[in-house]
Chain A
C-alpha cells in the first residue's frame, strides 16, 4: 500500500501531520490526521492563583 506523509503541516499554529494510504489503484484508502504535540497546561495551571492564569495560558497559542 502506497503511503504519503505530510510532515509537518505548515502555515498554521502548532504541530500536525497527515498520513495518507493509497490502494493499488492509487485511490485514497484511508487518511490519519495526527497532532504530535502536548505541553500539559491542563495539569500545570492547577492550583495557580487566578490572576496569574491569563499570563500563563496566553502561551498556549501566541498566533
Chain B
C-alpha cells in the first residue's frame, strides 16, 4: 500500500497541538512508517510554495491547528483544503476558536492600540502600527491583514473531522492516527478523539446533589481535593463540556474550563453554562440569585473561555 501523505499546519496557534502530536513519543516512528510528512512547519522545512505546487487533493490528511485570525491563516486554510482529501480541525483553536477567540470581545482597533501603543513595555515614539504593505528602498514588503474577528476553521472552509482539546491528549491523538491509518474514520463531520459524554460523567471527584449557595475563588480558598468543584462553589465547566481528556484539569486541582467544547447536542457552550450553572443555585429568590451570580468573577470569559467564535453571537457586537 502506498504511504499516506500527512500534513500538519498551525494558523493562529500556540504550537501546543504540534507538541502534543510529538508527545505520542516513540509511536511517532509508527506514524513515520505509515505516512510521509509532506508539510509540517514545526518539524520540517517545506515552504508555502511547496504546498502551492502540489496537485489538488494530493495530501491524504491535514491536521489543521489554530484559529483564523488574519489573511495568511485564511489563505492557508483555503490552500490546504484544496490540497487535502481530509481536512481535520485539530485542537480547540481550529475547532471552536480557542483562547485566541477571546479577542472577539474587543475591537480590532482596541487590540492594535493596546499591543503597539499602550503596554508598559512598548517604546514606539513614532506610533507605528502594522501596515499590510510597507514601502522600503528595495521594493515593497507585506504582512497579513489582521481581521476584525477570529473564526474557527469551519467558518472559512469545509471541515471533515474535529479533534477537540487544548491541546488534544496524546492518547486521543494516537486513537485518531490509528483510525486514519486503518481507514476507519466515522461519518464525515464527526468529532473524533473525544467521548460522547460530559466531563461530569467521567470525573472521579465525589458528587452529590449540586446545590450552590455561593461562589469561591481558588485564589483565596483552598478546595477540598476529592469533592466536586461545583458543589464546593468553585466554577467548573464540567457539566457543559465534552469528555475525553481523562479530566486532566480536575485531577490537577482546578475546575474544567471547557476546552473540549460543547457536548453532543449543545449548540452554544457559554449559554448552556449560564443556564446549567445558575440552575443549581440553591435559592429561588431573585435578589439572592443575583447576589450569588455576582460572586462569579468575569462570567463572560469564564463561561466562554474557548468557544466565543463558535457561539451564536461569535463576537462583541456593541
Contacts and interface: CB of A to CB of B under 8 A. Distances in A.
Interface stretch (B56-64, B182-190, B297-305): B297-305
Interface string A36-63: 1111101111111111100110011111
Range, interface on chain A: 35 or more
B181 interface: no
B209 interface: no
B15 A14 contact: yes
Contact of A11 (B41, B167, B305): B41
Interface of A, secondary structure class, is loop
B106 A50 contact: no
Given A30-B137, A36-B72, A40-B114, A8 B106 contact: no
A1 B138 contact: yes
Given A14-B15, A59-B99, A63-B42, A38 B217 contact: no
A9 B248 CA distance: 33
A52 B42 contact: no
A38 B257 contact: no
A42 B218 CA distance: 23
A39 to B, nearest CB: 5
B254 interface: yes
Interface in A1-47: 1, 3, 6-8, 10-15, 19, 21, 29-30, 32, 34-40, 42-47
B143 interface: yes
Interface stretch (B44-52, B155-163, B237-245): B44-52
A46 to B, nearest CB: 7
B100 interface: yes
B18 interface: yes
A44 B217 contact: no
Contacts of A10: 41-47
Contacts of A51: 217-219
Contact of B69 (A34, A37, A48): A37
A34 B139 contact: no
A63 B15 contact: yes
A51 B255 CA distance: 12
Given A30-B137, A55-B257, A13 B42 contact: yes
B98 interface: yes
A11 B19 contact: no
B17 A62 contact: yes
Interface of B: 10, 12-20, 41-49, 69-70, 72, 98-100, 102-103, 105-106, 110-111, 114-115, 119, 130, 136-139, 141, 143-144, 146, 166-167, 217-219, 254, 257, 297-298, 301-302, 305
Interface of A: 1, 3, 6-8, 10-15, 19, 21, 29-30, 32, 34-40, 42-52, 55-56, 59-63
Query: What are the 5 closest A-B residue pairs judged by CB atoms, nearest first?
Result: A62-B16, A21-B138, A40-B111, A51-B219, A63-B15
